[in-house]
């Protein structure tokens, strides 16, 4: 796996910060997709791209009658993201297949490696776009009309990448090939550090959502407009941000404003519009919604960009993974506040589960994200054991 991680390391990397810029369908993403194709074909796997740009590399030929066991994750990143969120799952998937071949395992069902498109939603605002479109959780009309920061729609971006936007949407033919899905992911927290274990299993994904809040005011001169005459949208925006922090504390959830657009964006002009993206999550969906309702009162417009209900991974499969991946003592089962394609597939009724690999600091969505090589290797062995168990 070392060689694969090294090959991926420079793609989309900002030399100044060490962070990754791997927006869906950007040049970096296209290069990552090429890399995936190369890894698939060099292993003699059957490479397919579905109607929504998700990539599949099959060992064997899945069909409706004989669906496969699939593992994988995503290759896109948040802006200035780390090297592991997503890619570790894809690299580990190929490495686990190699290990199965070394062990001379003959799977009774096809085994696939998947790479989902635009998991992070960094470019168009909606996370897990590839898996949501695949399962029908997101309508193609809504998705194709979403715009990036340059004002380009997904439809235009897909066309430029040589894809066929009109084919986007629920893809029953592809879904029918997926019997079980297992996603390996770097842990985005310190649960495994606390447990003193290299590998864990996901129990549940918190309900979470993203909202865009627009605060409108009146643009005017920063020097000549008297304070009494101003309508400055930066003030209600600032009140909202502080209120979100206080409400999160009180309600026992988390809330983040990680993206803000100020228009027109001149240092010497009062803004006319502040758009803020609020991300809120927590174990209790009602508390998350209560927070959003409570803090958005001063916004001129509130738009829910995405909402993902709680996902509780099926107990039997989850416990089976914990047993197989844990060795002598079952692997710990951990909840998470991060969204994943495995959660979208689980919600669509596909038996799905996740393995987590220890992250020494717990930092993620930042260049500081890390996993020790020995733990990554333990993750591959655990994943291979799980695949062997599932396709026996």
By the rule CB under 5 A, 209 interacts with Mn ion:
no
Binder of residue 86, out of ligand GLV, Mn ion, none (CB less than 5 to 8 A by kind) = Mn ion
By the rule CB under 5 A, 29 interacts with Mn ion:
no
First-to-last C-alpha distance (Å) of the chain: 24
| CB-nearer residue toward ligand GLV: 311 or 376 | 311
By the rule CB under 6 A, 127 interacts with ligand GLV:
yes
By the rule CB under 6 A, 120 interacts with ligand GLV:
yes
Q: Are 235 and 299 in contact (CB under 8 A)?
A: no
| CB-nearer residue toward ligand GLV: 77 or 177 | 77
DSSP 191-234: HHHHHT-SEEEEEEE--EEEEEEEEE---EETTTS-GGG---TH
DSSP 181: E
Please state, in angstroms and rounded to a whole number, the distance separating the CA atoms of residues 333 and 297. 38
Q: Are 51 and 175 in contact (CB under 8 A)?
A: no
**Contacts with 368 (C-beta within 8 Å, 6 or more apart), sequence order:** 82, 361
| CB-nearer residue toward ligand GLV: 89 or 339 | 339
Q: 254: which 2 tokens?
A: 């988390």
By the rule CB under 5 A, 118 interacts with Mn ion:
no
- Min dist. Cβ of residue 340 to Mn ion (A): 5
Q: Are 76 and 33 in contact (CB under 8 A)?
A: no
**Contacts with 6 (C-beta within 8 Å, 6 or more apart), sequence order:** none
Q: 258: which 2 tokens?
A: 């990680």
Size of the site for ligand GLV (CB under 6 A): 4
| CB-nearer residue toward ligand GLV: 81 or 236 | 81
- Min dist. Cβ of residue 269 to Mn ion (A): 35
- Min dist. Cβ of residue 118 to Mn ion (A): 11
Q: Are 161 and 29 in contact (CB under 8 A)?
A: no
- Min dist. Cβ of residue 365 to Mn ion (A): 6
Region of 29-37, 53-61, 85-93, 231-239 interacting with Mn ion (CB under 5 A): 85-93
Region of 30-38, 46-54, 63-71, 79-87 interacting with Mn ion (CB under 5 A): 79-87
The one among 339, 343, 362, 379 contacting ligand GLV by CB under 6 A: 339
| CB-nearer residue toward ligand GLV: 99 or 122 | 122
Please state, in angstroms and rounded to a whole number, the distance separating the CA atoms of residues 320 and 325. 8
Helix/strand/coil for 77 = coil
| CB-nearer residue toward ligand GLV: 75 or 111 | 75
The one among 1, 322, 338, 354 contacting ligand GLV by CB under 6 A: 338
Name the maximum alpha-carbon separation found in the chain: 78
Q: Which of 246, 199, 216 is CA-nearest to residue 384?
A: 199
By the rule CB under 6 A, 130 interacts with ligand GLV:
no
By the rule CB under 6 A, 362 interacts with ligand GLV:
no
Please state, in angstroms and rounded to a whole number, the distance separating the CA atoms of residues 52 and 144. 11
By the rule CB under 5 A, 339 interacts with Mn ion:
yes
Q: Would you give the binding string for Mn ion spanning residues 296-335, x where CB under 5 A is met?
A: ----------------------------------------
By the rule CB under 5 A, 85 interacts with Mn ion:
yes
| CB-nearer residue toward ligand GLV: 232 or 341 | 341
**Contacts with 123 (C-beta within 8 Å, 6 or more apart), sequence order:** 23, 24, 25, 26, 148, 149, 157
Residues in 65-94 at the binding interface with ligand GLV, rule: CB under 6 A: none
**Residues of this chain that bind ligand GLV (CB under 6 A):** 120, 127, 338-339
Residues found near Mn ion in the complex (CB under 5 A): 85-86, 338-339
């Amino acid at each position: 796996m070392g060689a694969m991680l090294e090959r991926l390391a420079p793609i989309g990397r900002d030399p100044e910060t060490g962070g990754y810029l791997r927006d869906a369908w950007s040049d970096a993403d296209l290069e990552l997709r090429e890399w995936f194709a190369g890894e698939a074909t060099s292993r003699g796997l059957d490479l397919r791209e579905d109607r929504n740009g998700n990539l599949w590399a099959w060992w064997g030929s899945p069909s409706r009658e004989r669906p496969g066991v699939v593992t994988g994750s995503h290759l896109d990143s948040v802006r200035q993201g780390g090297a592991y969120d997503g890619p570790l799952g894809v690299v580990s998937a190929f490495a686990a297949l190699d290990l199965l071949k070394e062990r001379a395992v003959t799977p009774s069902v096809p085994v696939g490696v998947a790479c989902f498109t635009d998991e992070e939603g960094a470019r168009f605002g909606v996370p897990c776009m590839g898996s949501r479109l695949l399962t029908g959780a997101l309508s193609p009309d809504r998705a194709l009309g979403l715009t990036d920061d340059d004002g380009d729609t997904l439809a235009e971006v897909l066309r430029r990448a040589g894809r066929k936007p009109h084919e986007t949407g629920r893809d029953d033919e592809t879904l029918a090939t997926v019997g079980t899905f297992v996603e390996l992911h770097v842990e985005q927290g310190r649960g495994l550090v606390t447990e003193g274990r290299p590998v864990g299993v996901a129990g549940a994904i918190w309900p979470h959502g993203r909202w865009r809040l627009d605060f409108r005011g009146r643009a005017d001169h920063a020097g000549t407009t008297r304070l009494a005459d101003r309508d400055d949208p930066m003030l209600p925006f600032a009140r909202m941000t502080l209120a979100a922090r206080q409400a999160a504390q009180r309600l026992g959830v988390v809330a983040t404003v990680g993206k803000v657009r100020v228009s027109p964006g001149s240092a010497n002009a009062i803004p006319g519009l502040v758009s803020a993206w609020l991300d809120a999550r927590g174990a209790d969906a009602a508390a998350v919604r209560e927070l959003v309702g409570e803090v958005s009162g001063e916004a001129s417009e509130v738009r829910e960009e995405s909402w993902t209900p709680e996902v509780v991974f099926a107990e039997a499969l989850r416990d089976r993974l914990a047993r197989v991946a844990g060795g002598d003592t079952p692997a710990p089962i951990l909840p998470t506040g991060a969204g994943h394609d495995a959660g979208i597939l689980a919600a669509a009724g596909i038996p799905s589960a996740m393995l987590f690999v220890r992250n020494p600091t717990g930092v993620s969505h930042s260049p500081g994200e890390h996993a020790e090589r020995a733990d990554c290797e333990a993750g591959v062995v655990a994943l291979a054991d799980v695949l062997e168990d599932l396709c026996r």
